[in-house]
Amino acid sequence: MKRIGMLTGGGDCPGLNAVIRGVVLTAKAAGWQVLGFKNGWKGIIQNDFIELDENSVSEILWRGGTILKTSRTNPYKKTGDVAKVRKTMKKNKLDALIAIGGEDTLGAGNKLFKDGIPVIGVPKTIDNDLNATDYTFGYDTALNVATECLDRIRTTAESHNRVMVVEIMGRHAGWIALEAGIAGGADVVLIPEVPMSVNEICGYIKQRRARGKDFNIVAVSEGFSIKGEELVTAKKDIDAFGHVILGGVGDRLAKLIEKKTGLETRCTVLGHIQRGGTPTGFDRVLGTRMGVKAVQLVQQGKFGQMVSLCGRDIVSVSLQEAVGELKTVPAGMYELAKIFFG
């Protein structure tokens, strides 16, 4: 009987439980056992797990978050943690480890594979910034939440003749802000890939006002850089993977816009609202398909691979290809959005 370990690492997102369910039910159909390690890489370092069966994953498909919990633990941060991962794998006689996560979780998984541990990756991130897959599960839900929030903000902006700045998640890649901005009819979309000055931003706002429109919506990624200023961060601390904690660019931008234009400007930060709640049908189906494919890769002994969506097909690509570089917004997509600026 094969024994598979599974963990969810990094930020939570809708669709994680769909993947877990897909893995467990597919593995159980083959007569295999599945151990779910708690709190990401921390769980496998500490040998903290639960055995998962059909009852464990009953009624979790619609739930956001992850029943296995998560953390931003980096197994390469502390000396000896990789050895603990090996020990846990050996002690529990695991044939494979399925790591569900984003760039950091799968980056660690790729290193572990190179160090001889049989790892399969499943791409999870609301930012949609993992390379070698058309979409990551969780993105569609986050995009729909952000779009709905822009729709709701619009009525307040219109009622008060305000400029409303909406800060949306997106550390290095602006996919959510870009597509939510297009779908929600934002007047300006600001993403990490394209720094912009306050003068340029206010120029678009004034263009709209000159057409007789008396309110504005500005969608901004949390990782956006204002030209001439340092990147705005919530704290100076860094996490286990060396990332600063972002947040605050929306508030800073609102103050600058109001000072420059004299228009009443307010900021709304969507924050973790985008991560939570019930996953869309798209993310439930995508997560389920990816979970099934991950077990199939274990069956085939294809380790060091990541499950990927290519068109409508679920395929596999190397973990190295997936984490080698981030999938950022291409210039052509941003030019499409700019057609509607102002």
Q: Give pLDDT tens digits for 204-223.
A: 999 999 999 999 999 999 99
* Pair 202, 239 in one domain: yes
Domain span including residue 183: 143-275
Q: Is 127 a catalytic site residue? A: yes
Beta strands in 9-144 (DSSP E): 33-37, 49-52, 96-101, 119-123
Statement to judge: residues 242 and 178 lie in one domain: yes
Q: Tell me the C-alpha distance between 93 and 315, whole Å.
A: 27
Task: List Cβ neighbours of 200 (8 Å cut-off, separation of 6 or more).
Answer: 227
pLDDT of residue 237: 73
Residue 240 sits in a domain of what CATH number? 3.40.50.460
**Predicted confidence band at 57 (pLDDT cuts at 50, 70, 90)?**
very high
Give yes or no: residues 91 and 125 share one domain: yes
Residue 56 belongs to domain with CATH number: 3.40.50.450
Q: Which of 10, 329, 341, 7 is nearest to 170 (CA)?
A: 329
Distance CA 165, CA 50 (A): 44
Asked if residue 283 has pLDDT above 80, the reply is yes
Query: Residues 281-305: what's their mean pLDDT?
Result: 97
pLDDT of residue 15: 96
Say if residue 45 is in the same domain as residue 77.
yes
The pLDDT of residue 13 is 93
Q: Based on the domain organization, do 316 and 208 belong to the same domain?
A: no
pTM of the model: 0.93
Token pair, residue 44, equals 């496998």
Q: What does the pLDDT read at residue 245? A: 79
333 lies in a domain? no
**Is residue 228 pLDDT above 90, yes or no?**
no
**Confidence band of 182 (pLDDT split at 50, 70, 90):** very high
Count of the separate structural domains present in the chain: 2
Measured CA to CA, the distance from residue 14 to residue 141 in angstroms comes to 7
Burial environment of residue 228 by CB neighbours within 10 A (0 to 12, 13 to 18, 19 or more)? exposed
**Could you say which of 12, 81, 127, 129 is catalytic?**
127
